[in-house]
Structures are given as structure tokens and as C-alpha cells.
Structure 1
Amino acid sequence: QSVKEESQKRLEALRPWTEFFDRQRISKPNGYSGISQRLSFNLRYFQNNYILIVLLVIAYFLITQPWLLVSVAFLVCGFKWISSLPTNEPTVIAGKSFTQLQLWGIYAVISLILLFFTGISSTLFWVAFICALVVCGHAGFMDKPVEAEFEGDEQV
């Protein structure tokens, strides 16, 4: 499946935002088992909504940090370009011949230096922290819908 098809499928499977933000279903869980049950259910139930939230947080960080955006663009374009080169033919750049393996090495070194200077580690920490806080906070405090309580029950 292509990325476009997968994205379309996930967008169509989003739960309604009115259901996602239903304040009447927010309540304090009953201990660790209550949190565990809610996390297990809600992470599956709202999975696509959570993925979209994570992508929006990542997009926010990329937009607010232009050098990080340039670095990520370099990573994506460089990866795509080197991957498209023939493996058994050398590539000539500025009159010097490079194998694909040498280009991967040069690309890795430049990428690491670029990411180091853009502060990727702190950005990754904050993205992970914010996403974990939002997703786990929502999943832990959002009660199951009433319909879910009756799943698996057989009618007499």
C-alpha cells in the first residue's frame, strides 16, 4: 500500500472530534487497573486521532524551527537521491568519482553534523514529551463509550 492510500484510509477512519473531546466522558480512573484498561481501549479506539495529533505536533516543531526543517529536507532529499543511484556504477561529483557506499558514508556524516547543530535531541525530547502527555493523558482520563461496555455481551 502506498503512503497516500494509507493516509487516506487513516483519515477516513478518524473518530469524530466531538467524540474525541466529549467532556462528559472525562473522569478520574479507578486506580492502576482503570488507567490500564482505559489506555488499552482508547489507544486502539482513537489510534488515528492520536497519530494525527502527533503529526501536528511534529509539523509545529518543524515550522517553528526553520533550520530543523532545512535539515529534515536535506535528509529526505539526500536519502531519495542516493537511493535512486545505480549501486554498481560510480557517481561523479565535482570531477571526483564516488561509489554509492561512499556517498552513504558522506551523507551520514553530514546529516549527523547538521542534526547536531539544529538541536534535534532536545526537539525529539519535547515532541515525545508533549505527545506522550497529550495522548496518555487523554487515553487515561477518557472513559469508554457506553456502547463499548456492551461489546461481547450476547443478547438473550
Structure 2
Amino acid sequence: MDHLIRISDTVKSFRESRLSALRSPAEFFDYNRVSRPADFTQATTRVTYNARYFSGNYGAIVAVLAVYALLSNPLLLISLGFLVGGFTAINKWAPEPMQVGEHVVTQKSLYTGLFVIGLPLLWWSSPLGTFFWLVGASGFLILGHASLMEPGVESEYSGIQEV
């Protein structure tokens, strides 16, 4: 029961912190505010402002690309499932050593077997290639959007402190 309360609190705090930062699709895809920056300084200023302003939307873009990367690489998905599932199963069903025939199987030997099979499988599924694709694709999309999107009128007042 305590786990359910912690999960509920985690979901609630995630919803309050991250999902409240999402901007509407009409605002995020407002083609009237798209323009080419005049120089590198203006592009840097736009990226700095838009990275904060659209941080929730950019996080959603990274999450969608990560799900796509996992779904388009089924071997990576299988190897991660094997490692996470094996780790969970060993912790849940084999906390104590057990006798199998003439051999005693310990938790340490089960982990060793899991990693001897799982790590080469994970390496073969090319997680580094997927990671660098994710970094490159999300960086291209986010930097492209942030540099082409003009800050709104509210950006002019962002430096003013309330009295």
C-alpha cells in the first residue's frame, strides 16, 4: 500500500512540474512567429529563451523520439526487457540459495548468468548508436525550432521584477 502512495505522489509531482510546462500546440507550432534569425547572436538569444519557455514541449519531443528509437530497434527492446526482467525475477523469486540436483544455485550465480547472456545481447543491439541517434535527432529538432521561433511579447517583460 505504501508503494501505491509513493507512486501516486510521484505521478502527481511529475504532472505538476513537467506537464504544467507544456505549451499548447497552437503556440508551439505558430508559423506566424517563424523567421530566420539575423545573426548568430539573435539565434543564441532565441535558443536561450525558447529552451526555457518550451522546455516541456522539448522534453515531450525527446520522449517521443526515445520511444520511436526503442520500437524501431526490437533487439534493443528485447535485450533491455531481458536484463530488467531477469533482474526483477531474480530479486523476487530467488533471494535465498536453492538446491538444484547436486548444485546449489545462489543469487550471485544467477546474476552472473544474467549478465553473461544479457550484456553481449545488449552490446549486439547497438545501444550507443541508438543513443547518439536520439541525441542528434532531438538536438536538430530542438535547436532548429528554438532558433527559428521568435520569442513572444512576454519575453520583453521576463527580466522585470515584480515590486
Please indicate the TM-score interval, normalised by the length of the shorter structure.
0.7 to 0.9
Instruction: Flag structure 2 segments of 5+ consecutive residues without an equivalent.
Output: 1-5
In the alignment, the residues of structure 1 paired with residue 67 and residue 25 of structure 2 have an alpha-carbon distance, to the nearest angstrom, of 20
Alpha-carbon deviations, 1:74-110, whole Å to 9, x = none? 2332344456689xx654485533345x555544443
The answer to whether structure 1 residue 19 and structure 2 residue 27 are counterparts is: yes
Asked if 1:64 corresponds to 2:64, the answer is no
Per-residue deviation, residues 100-129 of structure 1 (Å, max 9, x unmatched):
5x5555444433211222122222221111
Rounded Cα–Cα distance in structure 1 between residues aligned with 2:53 and 2:129: 30
Measured on the aligned residues, the alpha-carbon RMSD in Å equals 2.8
Match of 1:148 in 2: 155
Q: Which of 31, 46, 57 is the equivalent residue of 2:54? A: 46
Q: Which moves more between the two structures, 57-66 or 3-12? A: 3-12
The 8 Å contact of residues 90 and 107 in structure 2, kept in 1 or not, is answered as no
SS class of match (2:35): coil
Which stretches in structure 1 are left out of the alignment for 5+ residues?
none
Q: How many residue pairs are counted as aligned between the two chains?
A: 152
Return the offset for 1:65: 2.3
TM-score, normalised by the number of residues in structure 1: 0.78
4+ residue stretches of structure 1 with deviation over 3 A? 78-86, 89-96, 102-111, 152-155
Pairing partner for 1:55 from 55, 63, 72: 63
Contact 2:37 2:43 in 1 (8 A): yes
State whether residues 47 and 147 of structure 2, in contact with CA within 8 Å, keep that contact through their aligned partners in structure 1: yes
Question: Could you say which residue in structure 1 is the equivalent of 2:129?
Answer: 122
Matched AA of 1:49 = N
Return the offset for 1:22.
0.8
Q: TM-score, normalised by structure 2?
A: 0.75
